[in-house]
Amino acid sequence: MNIKSFLPLLMFWGIFSILSCGDKPISEVDLNILEIKLPSELEFLIGDSAQILIYGNGKLYKKGYLKIIREQKDFFIIDVPIGEWKIDVFITGPNENVVYLLDRKKVNIRPDFKNTVELELQPPIKFDTKIVNISPNSEVIVTAKVDNSRLPEGLNNPQIKWTIDNIEGGNSELGIIISNGNTATIKGPPTLPSSQNHYLGAYYEANSKKYISVIKINYVE
């Protein structure tokens, strides 16, 4: 028997075996999110444009508009290879790189097992107040605290930046922000704006994304 005639077949099985060994079994992961509800500030700011994005090890697995997928239970089931995974779930507006609510978990995905990951979507930064009351020419101090449990891996003590209605540092019409790290002093304008839908924001940046929290500003005489 001429062994040379079997060489192509042997090479095929060798390559097939190598490729097969490199594939990891797939397992199902059920993302159990405690509650998906936008705070009143985000209902006003992003409302129906709110999106939910699911990442696994930095790869985008699923995304959809929150108003559509709230009741779609299968949306929160993903199939991933077994092993250690970093699961990130974000709530964004139309700009997917601006994150308003999130949670992150490290999990070990096991084969032939229903893997459940408990998640709770929370803002990346917490304020020491729920509303900011500003009077003409007044000064108000607001403190923010980063939720370290939701920081991207490897990021520590990020620099917080402050905005009013997405205007960095505010302005003379809405209020001037003097920031000192996690603390902001807001100087009220001499004449208050006529509308009441204005928001103070605190954010940090990481991995080409902006992680921002907002609270309402109440202008009072």
Residue 6 has pLDDT above 70, yes or no: no
Question: Is residue 54 within 8 Å of 64, Cβ to Cβ?
Answer: no
Residues 37 and 113 in one domain: yes
Between CA 30 and CA 122 the distance in angstroms is 19
Which tokens sit at 6?
């079997």
- Give CA angle at 56 (85, 58), nearest 5°: 105
Average pLDDT over residues 183-197: 94
Query: 75, 85, 73, 76: which is closest to 26 by C-alpha?
Result: 85
Between CA 70 and CA 64 the distance in angstroms is 10
Residue 23's pLDDT is what?
59
End residue of a domain, out of 119, 142, 159: 119
Tens-place pLDDT, residues 103-147: 999 999 888 777 899 999 999 999 999 999 999 999 999 999 999
Residues 142 and 113 in one domain: no
Question: Is residue 62 within 8 Å of 69, Cβ to Cβ?
Answer: no
Residue 86's pLDDT is what?
93
pTM of the predicted protein model: 0.85
Residue 27's pLDDT is what?
84
Asked whether the CA dihedral 145, 148, 151, 156 is positive or negative, the reply is positive
Between CA 57 and CA 61 the distance in angstroms is 10
Q: How is residue 173 annotated by DSSP?
A: T
Query: 199, 206, 173, 169: which is closest to 185 by C-alpha?
Result: 169
Put residue 137 in one of left, alpha, beta given phi > 0 → left and psi -120 to 50 → alpha: left
Which tokens sit at 9?
């077949």
Tens-place pLDDT, residues 55-99: 999 999 999 999 998 777 789 988 888 899 999 999 999 999 999
Residue 136's pLDDT is what?
96
Domain annotation covers residue 21: no
Residue 212's pLDDT is what?
98
Residues 105 and 148 in one domain: no
Residues 87 and 149 in one domain: no
| Residue 191 CA: distances (Å) to CA of 117, 177, 217, 221 | 50, 16, 15, 9
Between CA 3 and CA 36 the distance in angstroms is 65
Residues 38 and 106 in one domain: yes
Residues 45 and 87 in one domain: yes
Residue 72's pLDDT is what?
79
